[in-house]
Structure 1
Amino acid sequence: MTSTPSRMRGVFLPGDSTAELREYDVPRPGHGQVLVEIGASGICGSDIGFIYRGYKGYRGVDGPAYRGVIAGHEPSGRIVAAGPGVRRFGPGDRVIVYHIVGCGLCDNCRRGHYISCGYGRESYGWQRDGGHAPYLLAEERTCVPLPDELSYVDGALIACGFGTAYEGLRRAGVSGDADLLVVGLGPVGLAAGMIGRGMGARKVIGVETAEARRAWAATAGVFDAVLPAGDDAAEEVADLTGRGGAAVTIDCSGTRPGRSLALEAAAEWGHVSLVGEGGDLHTEVSDTLLHKQLTIHASWVTSLPAMSELARNLVGWGLRPEKVVSDAFGFERAGEAYALAAGASKGKVVLVPGEAS
């Protein structure tokens, strides 16, 4: 580790809608650990709602609280040092860091779903130092190969938002015979649109309340139509598909109206995927659910194998997640980056070492 400094500055979130830079020691990898030089680190909506704005527990109520560590759970970078016992990865390898560390022994962990570990799950940026600093100490078992064709920004987006969208669409069975409706065109919704296009959806339709986000989504080149939310949205989706609705719908808004639209605009025998956090679900049961014979999928992030699969698929599809990034900042401007991500950002906001703006 002679080439790495002994000290670094990382981003700390005090919980009062600000972001601070603090001094930290550069860690040294122990058994089974690697030191990752960060290439990019994304800002996630869950960090905004549950840490940046001061809600100290997951979902703002209970669960594992933020422990005052370096923020950021969407890291990607290059390994610069490896501890004893590291076998698959080594210095020079480019990696995505799966943002949860699980026990590795329970059934969920053995399936690669560290997010659902019930025995001491910890998240980078929540309970252990995250990616908003020049270096990150990571467990080797949480590293996923980053293909050479993808950038570090691509990798950071795959680490959470794109992985979340991919899992929701995999479970819902997107294919070339299915029209896809994406409700909510924030970063995860943009990811869903891009992945849906890659998976071969016949038509990809987006619905969003904010005009600026609709305009940004239209530049992604993956949506056949981008509609404003409103009372006529479900009927417009039915007209656009010519099949009475979309065979697959995914709600990325996490709102009651968004989820209702995802159900109402689904075609008969359709599949509805819910990935947006928070809020509640309210629906009429008979006509909306039973009589249309809908299947509802609830999905929370993705697994390690699926994240690796997604990275390879994106290369094969010729798609680059970084296209949904509207703003990039250096670590020293983390306060501006978080304020934008928590306010009127059009697309995804990321932190990139050395980025000027």
Structure 2
Amino acid sequence: MKSVRTAGAGGVETVDVERPAPGPEDVLVGVRACGICGTDVTFLHMGGMPARGHLGGELVPVPLGHEPAGEIVEVGSAVTALKPGDRVVVNPQAASTGIIGCGGRYGGMSEYLLVEKAESGRSLAVFPDTVPFDVAALNEPMAVSRHAVNRSGAGPDDKVVVFGAGPIGLGVAIWLKLRGVKHVVVADVIASRLEKALAVGADAVLDSATEDVTARLTELHGEAANALGQPRAGTDIYIDAAGAPAVFEAVVANAKWHAKLVMVAVQKKGEIDLGGMLRSELTLIASQGYPTEIFEVTPELAEHHERFAQLISHRVPFEEADRAFELARTPGAAEKVIVTFEG
């Protein structure tokens, strides 16, 4: 079968590898779609991963792809709850041979993917045939978004701003609105992203490159105060899906008393204004991965699949995988790239 892996700094290659055979507890999935995300791009920049136990800096290729969706084509002799033809999404972190597409033995950007110790609700989940495979491939990143929302504790009466209108930020906005959150603002510096935010249900958008963030948030969420009585925007929860130091600065400058900041983006280095946090008693919450959310999201992703489909900017056939990764690694060229496979 063919599989995509890193090929030196900045490169990918499609190689022929042996098609895995399922053991008694495994299933073999014919991959039909697989998303590309920032983690894949990081591996591209690295050119691979250090070989285990090697101290000389030697890099080995990484099989790529941790956002696969596909169809079961073979089941092991001990597997009874799953069958060929089931359409499934995969938990990349459940593989016993290492995280799928992130340094493990297998990558989801392959014609076939072995799911070890296949168990519905743990290593994979079945989704209905009403959901296109390309949308089902959003399951993993939407679990990341859902965890951020869960960590925020946002409720119906909260006023929330999401910084960063990439796939994770837009996913956060969708989950917030599906949860019934009163008012959700999405901030970004790219006009097309802000248009997409409104299309998926944000109540308002903010161009943080051209607008006064404080004035706009005060206009939208009313005026409140910090612990010292200084005027602040009435925003209850800030969610950082951008990772830029300017976002943290904007939050501290606007945070009212007992506001919360949830960090879901990979953070770039910058100074932290601890004094500003103190003046607002700002709660800082980190959100990493999806401890429980990987299949929590699957039924709602299926129910609202047309809404989530709007997050996909490019669908590229597997035969052009190199072009798909070039799109993903070029700033501003694409939002969410999904590689599709023939059934």
TM-score (ref. length: structure 2): 0.84
Q: Deviations over 1:207-231 (max 9, x none)?
A: 112344334434x331222222247
Q: Does 1:54 align with 2:46?
A: yes
Distance change >3 Å, CA 259–CA 354, structure 1 → 2: farther
Q: Aligned to 2:135, which of 123, 134, 154?
A: 154
Distance change >3 Å, CA 10–CA 121, structure 1 → 2: closer
Write the letter of the residue equivalent to 2:77.
P
CA root-mean-square deviation: 2.6
Distance change >3 Å, CA 17–CA 215, structure 1 → 2: farther
Alignment size in residue pairs: 322
Q: Deviations over 1:323-357 (max 9, x none)?
A: 100101011111111111111234211101149xx
- Counterpart in the other structure of 1:96: 89
- Counterpart in the other structure of 1:345: 333
SS in 2 for 1:35: strand
- Counterpart in the other structure of 1:180: 160
SS in 1 for 2:325: helix
Given that residues 263 and 272 in structure 1 are in contact (C-alpha distance below 8 angstroms), is that contact kept between their aligned partners in structure 2? no
CA distance in 2: counterparts of 1:262 and 1:329, whole angstroms: 37
Q: Percent identity?
A: 27
- Counterpart in the other structure of 1:113: none
Write the letter of the residue equivalent to 1:135.
Y
> After TM superposition, what 4+ stretches of structure 1 lie above 6 angstroms from structure 2?
none
Q: For 1:250-265, what aligned pairs fall within 5 Å after superposition?
A: 250-265=239-254
Q: For 1:37-116, what aligned pairs fall within 5 Å after superposition?
A: 37-49=30-42, 51-54=43-46, 56-57=48-49, 67-101=60-94
Unaligned runs of 5+ in 2: 224-232
Given that residues 181 and 262 in structure 1 are in contact (C-alpha distance below 8 angstroms), is that contact kept between their aligned partners in structure 2? no
SS in 1 for 2:310: helix
- Counterpart in the other structure of 1:33: 26
- Counterpart in the other structure of 2:273: 284
Given that residues 35 and 137 in structure 2 are in contact (C-alpha distance below 8 angstroms), is that contact kept between their aligned partners in structure 1? yes
Distance change >3 Å, CA 330–CA 173, structure 1 → 2: same
CA distance in 1: counterparts of 2:48 and 2:99, whole angstroms: 15
Q: Does 1:201 align with 2:194?
A: no
Q: For 1:277-316, what aligned pairs fall within 5 Å after superposition?
A: 277-286=266-275, 288-303=276-291, 305-315=292-302
Q: Does 1:137 align with 2:114?
A: yes
Distance change >3 Å, CA 56–CA 238, structure 1 → 2: farther
Write the letter of the residue equivalent to 1:221.
V
Alpha-carbon deviation of 1:285?
Answer: 2.2
Compare CA radii of gyration and give the structure with the larger one.
2
Q: Deviations over 1:300-342 (max 9, x none)?
A: 1103x42222122334567642210010101111111111111
- Shifted more, 187-196 versus 221-230: the winner is 221-230
Given that residues 32 and 342 in structure 2 are in contact (C-alpha distance below 8 angstroms), is that contact kept between their aligned partners in structure 1? no
Given that residues 38 and 75 in structure 1 are in contact (C-alpha distance below 8 angstroms), is that contact kept between their aligned partners in structure 2? yes
CA distance in 2: counterparts of 1:121 and 1:335, whole angstroms: 24
Given that residues 15 and 55 in structure 1 are in contact (C-alpha distance below 8 angstroms), is that contact kept between their aligned partners in structure 2? yes
Given that residues 259 and 274 in structure 1 are in contact (C-alpha distance below 8 angstroms), is that contact kept between their aligned partners in structure 2? no
TM-score (ref. length: structure 1): 0.81
- Counterpart in the other structure of 1:3: none
